[in-house]
């Protein structure tokens, strides 16, 4: 079984808003129409006073996923503060920062520390520079031209050997939110290694992922999860053979083995989301916390 037609249609829309390069005449027209529709909604937001200074326009935030931009960002950062001990003096690296969903709520909290976010979508970084860095100089953003078949198919770098744009042991926390589910095994290995490299001793890597143990693997095989990961690859499951990086679920013991190899340990039992216990949508991912020795 592959990805459903509606899911691949949604993926196509995601591509339209994340990459300026769309192949094929018909696809270019579809992309133009989709983006034009979002621009019209952005204009309506401005006219009706619904736009906010620190919330990106719809055409920029569509590719980061569903849900209320401000509420989801606030929920994530509250977890980082309450559960992971994030302090105002800490330095945070946000890999795959998108249009600043985590950065925006942190601007009022990281008053003594700093933030560095990077992403492969140029207009996302441009918006963050304009809307966030201009007001909060301790918040920096970097565009990295990594090749990714969904979000940046013509990139010049690879996730498997890419180095984070940061010095070693420069951060107290690394966020990998919504990222592991789009990375293949050699790419996960590199991102975990890079997270360990930039973390200070005792620092934490906070990630969201689709995690699989034997019980969840059985539910996946029986189609009793919110997402269908029906193509098993041993250490991981993929959702669609047509778009393998659309969604990837990993065996928890594999993630632990990779982490241990790079000096990280599971800091606590993962906080399980709803994707693996129910077929209902919307469904949340699992939360994983790794600590550097």
Q: Is 137 exposed, middle or buried (0-12, 13-18, 19+ CB in 10 A)?
A: exposed
Q: Is 142 exposed, middle or buried (0-12, 13-18, 19+ CB in 10 A)?
A: middle
Instruction: Give Dmax (Cα) for the chain.
Output: 54
- Lowest average pLDDT, out of 4-18, 159-173, 194-208, goes to 4-18
| 246 in Cβ contact with 254 (< 8 Å) | no
Q: What is the mean pLDDT of the chain?
A: 86
d(C-alpha 243, C-alpha 91), whole Å: 35
Which string of b and e fits 98-114 if b means at least 16 CB within 10 Å? Answer: bbbbbbbbbbebbeebb
d(C-alpha 198, C-alpha 191), whole Å: 11
d(C-alpha 84, C-alpha 63), whole Å: 27
Reply yes or no on whether the pLDDT at 47 is more than 90.
no
The residue among 95, 80, 281 whose CA lies nearest residue 72 is 80
| 270 in Cβ contact with 286 (< 8 Å) | yes
SS3 269: coil
> pLDDT: is 25 or 103 the higher one?
103
The residue among 197, 211, 186 whose CA lies nearest residue 289 is 211
d(C-alpha 56, C-alpha 231), whole Å: 36
Strand partners, 49: none
Q: Domains (ranges, CATH) in the chain? A: 67-292 (3.40.50.150)
Other C-beta atoms lying within 10 Å of the C-beta of residue 26: 9
Reply yes or no on whether the pLDDT at 246 is more than 70.
yes
Residue 250 pLDDT level (bands cut at 50, 70, 90): very high
Q: Quick one: which H or E segment has residue 122?
A: helix 122-128
Strands (E), 20-161: 91-95, 114-119, 139-143
pTM: 0.85
Tell me, what's the pLDDT at 3?
A: 43
Q: What is the pLDDT of residues 190-237, one digit of tens each?
A: 999 999 999 999 999 999 999 999 999 999 999 999 988 989 999 999
């Amino acid at each position: 079984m592959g990805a459903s037609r509606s899911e691949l249609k949604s993926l196509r829309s995601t591509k339209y808003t994340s990459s300026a390069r769309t192949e094929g005449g018909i696809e270019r027209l579809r992309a133009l129409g989709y983006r034009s529709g979002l621009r019209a909604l952005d204009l309506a937001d401005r006219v009706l006073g619904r736009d906010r200074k620190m919330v990106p326009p719809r055409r920029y935030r569509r590719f980061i996923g569903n849900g209320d931009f401000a509420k989801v960002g606030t929920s994530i950062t509250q977890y980082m503060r309450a559960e992971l001990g994030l302090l105002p003096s800490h330095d945070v690296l946000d890999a795959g920062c998108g249009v600043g969903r985590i950065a925006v709520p942190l601007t009022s909290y990281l008053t003594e520390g700093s933030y560095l976010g990077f992403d492969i979508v140029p207009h996302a970084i441009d918006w963050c520079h304009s809307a966030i860095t201009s007001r909060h100089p301790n918040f920096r953003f970097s565009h990295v031209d990594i090749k990714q078949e969904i979000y940046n198919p013509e990139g010049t770098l690879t996730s498997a050997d890419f180095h984070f744009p940061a010095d070693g042991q420069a951060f107290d926390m690394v966020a990998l939110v919504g990222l592991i589910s789009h990375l293949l095994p050699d790419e996960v290995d590199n991102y975990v290694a890079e997270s360990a490299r930039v973390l200070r001793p005792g620092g934490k890597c906070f990630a969201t992922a689709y995690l699989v143990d034997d019980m969840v693997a059985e539910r996946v095989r029986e189609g009793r999860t919110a997402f269908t990961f029906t193509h098993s690859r041993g250490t991981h499951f993929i959702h669609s053979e047509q778009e393998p990086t659309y969604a990837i679920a990993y065996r928890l013991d594999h993630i632990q083995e990779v982490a241990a190899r790079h000096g990280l340990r599971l800091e606590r039992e993962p906080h399980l989301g709803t994707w693996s216990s129910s077929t209902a949508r919307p469904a949340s991912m699992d939360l994983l916390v790794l600590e550097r020795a």
